[in-house]
Each structure stands twice: as C-alpha cells, then as structure tokens.
C-alpha cells in the first residue's frame, strides 16, 4: 500500500479502513538495508505497513559506505578472495564453497566469508589479524564443538560478529568486550552460558531470532549489558518473558513464541523502551495485568495474532498499536485515555483492529476526542 497516501491523511476523523490483515501480510516484501541503527529508527518510527522479519538482515556490502568510513590499507589478499581497491582492508570470500578458513593476511579488518561450507575455526585462525573489526560468517556449517579455544576473545577490536544461518547449538564465546553487534539468527541455539555475555559493555545489538531458546536458559544472561538497545528473541520457544533484561533497551522483540502471560510490573524497569513486539504468541486477557503496557516511553506496541478479547490499556504517548487477529469484541475508550481533556488525549496515529470481532458500530462516539491524532484505524 502506498505509504505516502497514509501520511497525507490528516483529517478530523480518522480514516477507517476495512480488512487489511491479509493485504498487509503480502506487502512486507520490501527489504530495508540497515546501515545504522539510526536509519532503522527512522524507518521503523514511520512504518505502518508492518515490517518483515528479514528487514534488518544486512545482505549486500556497500563499498561506497565502507570506503568513506575506513582509510586505505596495504594488505595483500588471499588468492581465492577479493579485496576491493577502494576498500582494501576488506576481504570478500563469499560463495567459494570453502570448507575451512583461507589465510587472512595482516591488514584485513573486515572479513566476509558468507555462503561457504566452513564447519570449524582453528584457535590460531586470526592470529595475523588480531585487530579484525568485522567477521561475517553467515550461511556456513559452523558447529560449537569445532570452534576452537578463545578464537574470538583474542580479537580485541572486534565489533561485528555475524554467524547467522549456521549449525550452532549455543551462543559462541568467550567474546571480546569490544563487541557491538552480535547476530546468531537461524541456528539451533538452545543455550547461552550464564557468563558468555558478561562484561560486553559496548554490546548494542543482539539478534537471536529463529533459534530454540527457552526462558530458563535466558534468565540473567543479559544482565549488565548497559549499552544494549536492541534485543530480538522472536521465533524461539519462550513461554515466559526472560528475567533480568538490561534497563536501556529501546527495542525488544518476542514475536512468534508461546508466551501466555506477562508478570505484573515487568516493564517497570525499562525507562527507554520504544518498540515492543509480542505478536504471534498466546496472550489472553487474564495474562495481561491492568497497567503492564502503560509504558510512557513506548511508541509502538504489537500484540497482533494473540487471543485477546479486550484492548490492553496503553500509555497516552503510544503512536502505533497493532491488535489485528485477536478476538477483541469491545472498544473501551479507557484503554487509551483515562481522562480526556485539552492536554489529555491519546497520541495513537495508527491502530489496527482488523480481524477481530468488532465492527464500525462498536466504536463509541466519544473515542474521537480521545483518539484525536489517529490517522488510520483498520477494522474488520
């Protein structure tokens, strides 16, 4: 759907749409290219057609961007790999059917080894490049037992470690405390050792979606990660929310788990949380204590594809609220506004209630005063 059209709808009463649940499912094909978290924020903050789960999976390198960031180097290249002249500290060894690592000459800082058949990493593999900053190993056959010694911990400048789409059963470690971005999606991870992430003071982003994690294995493992802004645990096997998450998170994703309830005051400690996704879980009304989602920093809340019969109360600052595909059969204004007045009103702009048990006639007239910012309400 054309987003520009949605933007322009600044009418007195919100535009009420019908039946877009299906449509939206098929329009999420556009890939976002995440170059920085900032760019991501901009996209996300304005998004109405919902994100797709691969949206922030970085696919192609961007030589121009990289070149502008990193100075020249005098590195030579492994014969089977490519080191672009304009980006000589990067070595690309993608799609080469490699079964083991190539020799990595000193001077390389950005190493790409995607789409190979690498099963293991020897302890000395990076001894010539201990100042490696990015190590991208997506789409290989890596197993924990074949990653030897402290091979990552030795890389004292490592910032990005991506081992998406491999054969890992636990989070790799030990890790260097320079790490900023850890991505281990689409493995078979069932375990994180309690001290694996300890002391990673600069870790900002963790992608663990599409694994087999349960809440007991996660209890306390993220504690002390005070730089962590982004944690994605969607497509795992959580039946509860994990305990001991760090307080500065901005984005927290739990979609596609089996979560049935949320402990009272669970989100109290989060002072900056802006994006919270819990779609495709097993949430029911009785699993949601009254004020649990009344989080004043929250901008976007996704509770779609659950088993809710009523609309959980949210803070007046919330802007995007996704509730499609539940069993909601009433629309109390008090879920959005406890009181309505000159300054007391809901900031909700986009509200999805399609595929529930609600029709236009269920919307109370007094809602328009509370939801005065709404640009788009999807129903039926």
Binding site for ligand NAG (CB under 6 A): 103-105, 124-125, 127-128, 141, 167, 177-178, 201-202, 294, 313, 315, 327, 329, 337-338, 357
Nearer to ligand NAG, 22 or 99 (CB): 99
Nearer to ligand NAG, 46 or 105 (CB): 105
- 223-261 in b/e burial notation, b at 16+ Cβ within 10 A? eebeebbbbbbbbbebebbbeebbeebbbbbbbbbebeb
CB of 27: closest distance to ligand NAG in angstroms?
Answer: 27
The answer to whether residues 185 and 162 touch, using CB atoms and an 8 Å cutoff, is no
The answer to whether residues 154 and 131 touch, using CB atoms and an 8 Å cutoff, is no
Nearer to ligand NAG, 5 or 35 (CB): 35
CB of 202: closest distance to ligand NAG in angstroms?
Answer: 4
Which two structure tokens, joined as six digits, stand for 235?
């497509």
Nearer to ligand NAG, 30 or 201 (CB): 201
Nearer to ligand NAG, 50 or 346 (CB): 346
Which two structure tokens, joined as six digits, stand for 9?
């709808």
Nearer to ligand NAG, 52 or 316 (CB): 316
Residue 146 to residues 18, 108, 154, 155, Cα–Cα distance (Å):
53, 23, 17, 18
Nearer to ligand NAG, 73 or 239 (CB): 73
CA distance 250 to 128: 37
CB of 334: closest distance to ligand NAG in angstroms?
Answer: 7
CB of 104: closest distance to ligand NAG in angstroms?
Answer: 5
Nearer to ligand NAG, 218 or 348 (CB): 348
CB of 314: closest distance to ligand NAG in angstroms?
Answer: 6
CB of 194: closest distance to ligand NAG in angstroms?
Answer: 20
CB of 140: closest distance to ligand NAG in angstroms?
Answer: 8
CB of 5: closest distance to ligand NAG in angstroms?
Answer: 30
Nearer to ligand NAG, 50 or 116 (CB): 116
Contact partners, residue 270, CB within 8 Å, separation at least 6: 245, 247, 249, 252, 295, 297
The answer to whether residues 91 and 126 touch, using CB atoms and an 8 Å cutoff, is no
Which two structure tokens, joined as six digits, stand for 274?
């802006």
CB of 119: closest distance to ligand NAG in angstroms?
Answer: 7
CA distance 375 to 38: 25
């Amino acid at each position: 759907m054309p987003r520009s059209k949605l933007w322009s709808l600044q009418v007195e009463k919100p535009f009420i749409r019908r039946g877009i649940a299906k449509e939206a499912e098929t329009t999420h094909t556009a890939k976002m290219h995440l170059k920085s978290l900032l760019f991501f924020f901009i996209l996300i903050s304005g998004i109405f057609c919902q994100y797709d789960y691969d949206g922030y999976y970085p696919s192609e390198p961007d030589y121009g961007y990289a070149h502008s960031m990193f100075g020249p180097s005098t590195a030579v290249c492994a014969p089977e790999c490519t080191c672009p002249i304009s980006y000589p500290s990067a070595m690309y060894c993608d799609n080469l059917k490699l079964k083991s690592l190539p020799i990595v000459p000193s001077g390389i800082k950005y190493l790409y080894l995607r789409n190979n058949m690498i099963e293991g990493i020897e302890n000395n593999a990076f001894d010539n490049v201990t100042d490696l900053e990015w190590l991208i190993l997506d789409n290989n056959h890596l197993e924990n037992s074949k990653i030897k010694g402290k091979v990552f911990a030795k890389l004292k400048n490592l910032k990005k470690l991506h081992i998406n789409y491999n054969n890992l059963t636990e989070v790799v470690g030990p890790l260097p405390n320079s790490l900023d971005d850890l991505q281990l999606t689409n493995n078979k991870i069932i375990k994180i050792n309690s001290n694996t992430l300890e002391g990673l003071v600069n870790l900002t982003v963790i992608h663990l979606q599409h694994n087999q994690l349960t809440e007991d294995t996660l209890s306390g493992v993220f504690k002390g990660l005070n730089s962590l802004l982004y944690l994605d645990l969607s497509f795992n096997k959580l039946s509860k929310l994990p305990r001991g998450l760090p307080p500065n998170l901005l984005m927290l994703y739990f979609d596609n788990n089996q979560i049935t309830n949320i402990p009272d005051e669970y989100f109290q400690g989060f002072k900056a949380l802006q994006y919270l996704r819990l779609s495709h879980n097993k949430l029911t009304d009785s699993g949601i204590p009254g004020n649990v989602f009344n989080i004043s920093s929250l901008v976007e809340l996704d509770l779609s594809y659950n088993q809710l019969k009523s609309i959980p109360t949210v803070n007046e600052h919330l802007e995007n609220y996704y509730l499609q595909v539940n069993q909601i059969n009433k629309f109390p204004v008090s879920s959005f506004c406890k009181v309505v007045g000159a300054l007391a009103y809901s900031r909700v702009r986009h509200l999805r209630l399609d595929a529930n048990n609600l029709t236009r006639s269920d919307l109370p007239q007094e809602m328009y005063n509370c939801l005065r910012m709404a640009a788009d309400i999807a129903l039926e």
